[in-house]
Amino acid sequence: MNLVEERFLFGSVTLLVSRPSDPGDLVDTERFETDEYMPYWAELWPSGVTLARHVSMLDLRGQRVLELGCGLGLPSLVAAAAGADVTATDWAPEAVERLLETAEINGIVLTGAVLDWRDPAALERRSFDLVVASDVLYEERNAAPLLGVLDISLAPAGRAIVADPGRRHAEGFPALAADAGFTTASLPPDATSGPVTLLELRRALAS
């Protein structure tokens, strides 16, 4: 697989990230036919960059952080470099393998795990202070399982941050989150956010 290499600076964290030069080469018709699988993990998406920048501004020392649908995993790498105990997950084993390699090259320690949102049993009742996900609402079928994973993985006082570049199906997400027992708040954009928005979710207090 041909790789391209890029250097990023997020706050005080410098990352060297290699990714497939042509994700189109990774399309597998058999996997698409069984589960509409596409190798989206291999692309550099603006939401991942924006979320990583936001994560670089948080004090995450000692915090348990989970990333869902991590792809190249920039937010996970930044959080782990800042001292968080990070578990980065994706349903694509290739994504997790690449992320572990990137972590090693950058001297960053994190845990990688294959996790399909629709089958979150692998989380084994672990709970996290912060759950992050970027550009995961691109298909209508994604919202409900993502909220299900949040429900089992978010610590009672924890929060989740979901970055989205304006996907059509993201519009209804706050209402679905409210139905699932979460409050939502939009985080203020900065000069570099472009169309990417950050939505914070917390468990609603029982009335």
Ligand X SMILES: C[S@@+](CC[C@H](N)C(=O)[O-])C[C@H]1O[C@@H](n2cnc3c(N)ncnc32)[C@H](O)[C@@H]1O
Binding footprint of ligand X on the chain (CB under 6 A): 40-41, 45, 47-48, 69-72, 90-92, 95, 115-118, 134-136, 138
Question: Do strands 85-90 and 64-68 pair parallel, antiparallel, or not at all (unpaired)?
Answer: parallel
What is the distance between the alpha carbons of residues 157 and 171, in angstroms, rounded to a whole number?
A: 25
Rank residues 121 and 157 by Cβ distance to ligand X and give the closer one.
Answer: 121
User: Shortest gap between Cβ of 91 and ligand X (angstroms)?
Assistant: 4
Contact at 8 Å (CB) between 12 and 23?
Answer: no
Alpha-carbon torsion (15, 50, 122, 33), positive or negative:
negative
User: Shortest gap between Cβ of 172 and ligand X (angstroms)?
Assistant: 18
User: Shortest gap between Cβ of 48 and ligand X (angstroms)?
Assistant: 3
117: tokens are: 């949102």
Contact at 8 Å (CB) between 52 and 10?
Answer: yes
171: tokens are: 């519009």
Contact at 8 Å (CB) between 84 and 61?
Answer: yes
Rank residues 116 and 129 by Cβ distance to ligand X and give the closer one.
Answer: 116
Rank residues 48 and 158 by Cβ distance to ligand X and give the closer one.
Answer: 48
User: Shortest gap between Cβ of 144 and ligand X (angstroms)?
Assistant: 11
Rank residues 93 and 204 by Cβ distance to ligand X and give the closer one.
Answer: 93
User: Shortest gap between Cβ of 207 and ligand X (angstroms)?
Assistant: 32
DSSP-assigned letter for residue 12: T
User: Shortest gap between Cβ of 12 and ligand X (angstroms)?
Assistant: 21
What is the distance between the alpha carbons of residues 47 and 197, in angstroms, rounded to a whole number?
A: 8
Find tokens 């629709």 and name the residue.
Answer: 118
Rank residues 32 and 204 by Cβ distance to ligand X and give the closer one.
Answer: 32
Rank residues 46 and 174 by Cβ distance to ligand X and give the closer one.
Answer: 46
Q: What share of the chain is helix, strand, coil (3-state, %, to 5)?
A: 35, 30, 35
